[in-house]
Amino acid sequence: MNFMTVFLLQTPAAGGGSLIWIMLIAMLVIMYFFMIRPQNKKQKEIANFRKSLQVNQKVITAGGIHGVIKEINDSDVILEIASNVKIRIDKNSIFAAAADANSTQAAK
């Protein structure tokens, strides 16, 4: 019982709390620059790409469908995936330009 009383009454060393705060802040800053900032940048690039879509542009959807844009509306796009085969997809599901995807695969 005497040991337990001494153990509970001990105070932590002075200045130890500030080191924890510095490490926590440093970890948050590192996480921002390596995770959050690049993700936000990529989302902005994709949003700008979707705003700049044009008719007769070759694109790839998020599901992997390759096609040519035939019509652009406010929220959806008509894509021609084969001769006289057209599908309507949500504009947000367009992932990349087909030319960009082919050039990145050729670089590998």
pLDDT at 83: 93
Which pLDDT score, from 0 to 100, does residue 106 have?
47
Tell me the C-alpha to C-alpha distance, in Å, between residue 57 and each of 24, 31, 91, 96, 106. 47, 37, 13, 11, 20
Per-residue model confidence as pLDDT tens for the chain (108 residues): 566 566 556 655 555 678 889 999 999 999 999 999 999 999 999 989 999 999 999 999 999 999 999 999 988 999 999 999 999 999 999 988 887 655 555 444
Rounded CA-CA distance 94/91 in Å is: 6
Cα separation, 59 vs 54, in Å, equals 10
| Separation in Å, CA 67 to CA 61, 76, 82 | 8, 14, 7
